[in-house]
């Protein structure tokens, strides 16, 4: 009967885990038990920070719009109020992009609301 070598699943799991921990410092990159904890923690932080990244982006939109409307005699809240009353379909991301990349178009938009 032919010889059967075992442990292929275990070895594959270990190899994949250590591949995920590649680039980590000290024992986290080479020892299975420590790498497992490190990868799990990294996954938790990655999930949390993907949400935080979106939150930061939304805050940046508000900041950019506010900075663009202040010289034109508006505050952020008054500008958004006028937009809502005008039934505008532009969202804050689009307004932020306009304010940053096309300030003259944004200024025309603001002037049309006042």
Superfamily of domain 8-113: Ribosomal protein L20, C-terminal domain (1.10.1900.20)
Rounded to 5°, angle at Cα 51 from 14 and 38:
25
Number of Cβ within 10 Å of residue 72's Cβ equals: 14
The model scores a pTM over 0.75: no
pLDDT 10s digit of each residue in the chain, 114 long? 888 888 899 999 999 999 999 999 999 999 999 999 999 999 999 999 999 999 999 999 999 999 999 999 999 999 999 999 999 999 999 999 999 999 999 999 999 987
């Amino acid at each position: 009967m032919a010889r059967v070598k075992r442990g292929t699943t275990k070895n594959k799991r270990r190899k994949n885990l250590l591949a995920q921990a590649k680039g980590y410092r000290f024992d986290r990159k080479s020892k299975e038990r420590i790498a497992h904890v490190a990868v799990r923690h990294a996954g938790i932080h990655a999930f949390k920070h993907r949400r935080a990244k979106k939150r930061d982006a939304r805050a940046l939109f508000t900041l950019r719009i506010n900075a663009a409307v202040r010289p034109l005699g508006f505050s952020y809240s008054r500008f958004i109020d006028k937009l809502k009353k005008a039934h505008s379909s532009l969202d804050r991301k689009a307004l932020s992009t306009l304010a940053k990349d096309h300030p003259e178009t944004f200024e025309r938009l603001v002037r049309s609301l006042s």
